[in-house]
Amino acid sequence: MKRMVWGGLLAVVAALCAAAAVPVAGYAQSSTTSLPGSPSYSGDFPDPDVVWDSSTGLYWAYATQQLYTNIQVMSSPNLTTWSPIQEALPTLPSWATFGDTWAPSVAKFGTTWVMWYTARETSSGRQCLSVATAAAPGGPFTDSSAAPIICQLTIGGSIDSNIFLDGTNAYLVWKSDGNALGQLTHLWAARLSSSGTTITSSPVEVLSEDAAWQAPAMEGPTMVLNGGVYYLFYGANNWDSSSAAIGYAKCSTPLGPCTDWTNVRPWLQSSGSALGPSGPDVFTNAAGATELAYHAWDGCVGYPNCNRALWITPLSFVAGVPQPSPPPPGSWSLLPGAGNSIAMGATGSLWAIGTNPVADGYGIYHWSGTVWASAPGGGVAIAVGPDGSPWVVNSVGDIYRGTRFGWVHYPGAARDIAAGANGSIWVIGTDPVQGGYGIYNWTGSGWASVPGGGVAIAVGPDGSPWVVNSGSGIFHRNASGWLQYPGAATGIAMGASGSLSVIGINPVQGGYGIYNWTAGHWAPLSGGGSVTIGPGAGGGPEVINSVHQIYAG
According to the model, what pLDDT value does residue 327 have? 46
User: Is the predicted pLDDT of residue 5 greater than 60, yes or no?
Assistant: no
Confidence of residue 383 (pLDDT cuts 50, 70, 90): very high
According to the model, what pLDDT value does residue 538 have? 58
According to the model, what pLDDT value does residue 548 have? 84
CATH 2.115.10.20 positions along the chain are 49-282
According to the model, what pLDDT value does residue 37 have? 64
Distance between CA atoms of residues 2 and 64, nearest Å = 11
Q: Is the peptide bond before 216 cis (omega within 30 degrees of 0)?
A: yes
Report domain 334-552's class.
Answer: mainly beta
Per the rule left: phi > 0, alpha: psi between -120 and 50, beta: everything else, 212 is: alpha
Angle at 221 between CA 216 and CA 223, to 5 degrees: 150
User: Is the predicted pLDDT of residue 466 greater than 70, yes or no?
Assistant: yes
Mean pLDDT of 354-378: 91
Give the chain's radius of gyration (CA, Å): 26
Q: What is the DSSP letter of 319?
A: T
User: Is the predicted pLDDT of residue 528 greater than 60, yes or no?
Assistant: yes
Q: What is the pLDDT of residues 294-308, one digit of tens each?
A: 999 999 999 999 999
Residues in a beta bridge with 374: 365
- Pick the more confident residue, 547 or 310: 310
Mean pLDDT of 466-486: 95
Q: What is the pLDDT of residues 262-286, one digit of tens each?
A: 877 788 888 778 899 999 999 999 9
According to the model, what pLDDT value does residue 142 have? 98
Tell me which CATH code domain 49-282 carries. Answer: 2.115.10.20
For the chain, the average pLDDT equals 89
Which class for 496: exposed (0-12), middle (13-18), buried (19 or more C-beta within 10 A)? buried
CATH 2.120.10.30 positions along the chain are 334-552
Distance between CA atoms of residues 137 and 143, nearest Å = 15
Distance between CA atoms of residues 206 and 512, nearest Å = 37
Confidence of residue 6 (pLDDT cuts 50, 70, 90): very low
Confidence of residue 552 (pLDDT cuts 50, 70, 90): confident
Side chain identity, residue 70: N
According to the model, what pLDDT value does residue 179 have? 95
According to the model, what pLDDT value does residue 316 have? 86
According to the model, what pLDDT value does residue 539 have? 61
According to the model, what pLDDT value does residue 310 have? 97
Confidence of residue 325 (pLDDT cuts 50, 70, 90): low
According to the model, what pLDDT value does residue 347 have? 81
According to the model, what pLDDT value does residue 332 have? 76
How far, rounded to the nearest angstrom, does the alpha carbon of residue 135 sit from its chain's CA centroid?
37
Confidence of residue 519 (pLDDT cuts 50, 70, 90): confident
Percent of the chain scoring above 70 in pLDDT = 91
